[in-house]
């Protein structure tokens, strides 16, 4: 019995760390999926699609803005996906943890209480950029849209100092530079 307690005690921290890592990666992948869905719907419907992060409720919404009012209108606009960050994940990038929502997005336009990425009816993105998420262990993930015309969407992890200055060269995909290293 004592042996089992020791084994459990040693394994619990690593299990909690793995759980935290899985939540961060899963949420970043959900956001990337929302972006891909918005891009596809923009082409399908020959309209502009928006993907927005909202700081107030830690959520992301992707929709086709059919009435062009810049806000999701149920019954008029096409909802592609809405996801809320899981417990322990906040919309924040590199920088001091005390500065709420610092560097939560880059390249995209700011909106009241968040940021927005636009996908045109030809599938291109208005501006390349990324939405960023931080877990309690200071691991930072990003759903990133590269190449304006092709609008390639990838999930990347920040490999720099999470409490330091944002360095765009420090975001890596899982297969680059030996893979992701976790805090």
In a domain? residue 177: no
- The token pair at 144 is 């990133």
Neighbours of 170 (CB within 10 A): 17
Looking at the structure of the chain, the number of domains it has is 1
pLDDT digits (tens, 9 = 90+) for 132-141: 999 999 999 9
For residue 10, what pLDDT is reported? 63
- Name the residue range of residue 144's domain: 2-172
CATH number of residue 134's parent domain: 3.55.40.10
In a domain? residue 183: no
In a domain? residue 84: yes
In a domain? residue 58: yes
* Burial category of 12 from C-beta neighbours within 10 Å (exposed 0-12, middle 13-18, buried 19 and up): exposed
pTM: 0.89
% of the chain at pLDDT higher than 70 = 91
In a domain? residue 179: no
| Averaged pLDDT of the chain | 90
In a domain? residue 178: no
CA distance 39 to 78: 12
For residue 182, what pLDDT is reported? 79
In a domain? residue 17: yes
pLDDT digits (tens, 9 = 90+) for 34-76: 999 999 999 999 999 999 999 999 999 999 999 999 999 999 9
Let me know: does 148 contact 130? Beta carbons within 8 Å. Answer: no
In a domain? residue 96: yes
């Amino acid at each position: 019995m004592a042996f089992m307690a020791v084994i459990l005690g040693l394994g619990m921290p690593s299990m909690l760390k793995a759980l935290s890592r899985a939540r961060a990666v899963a949420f970043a992948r959900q956001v990337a999926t929302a972006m891909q869905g918005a891009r596809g719907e923009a082409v399908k419907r020959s309209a502009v699609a928006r993907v927005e992060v909202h700081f107030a409720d830690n959520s992301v919404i992707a929709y086709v803005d059919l009435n062009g009012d810049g806000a999701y209108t149920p019954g008029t606009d096409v909802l592609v996906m809405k996801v809320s960050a899981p417990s322990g994940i906040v919309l924040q990038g590199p920088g001091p943890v005390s500065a709420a929502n610092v560097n939560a997005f880059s390249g995209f336009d700011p909106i009241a209480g968040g940021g927005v990425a636009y996908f045109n009816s030809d599938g291109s993105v208005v501006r390349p950029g990324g939405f960023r998420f931080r877990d309690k262990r200071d691991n930072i993930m990003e759903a990133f849209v590269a190449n304006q015309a092709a609008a390639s969407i990838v999930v990347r992890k920040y490999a720099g100092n999470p409490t330091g200055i944002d360095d765009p060269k420090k975001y890596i995909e899982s297969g680059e530079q030996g893979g992701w290293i976790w805090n």
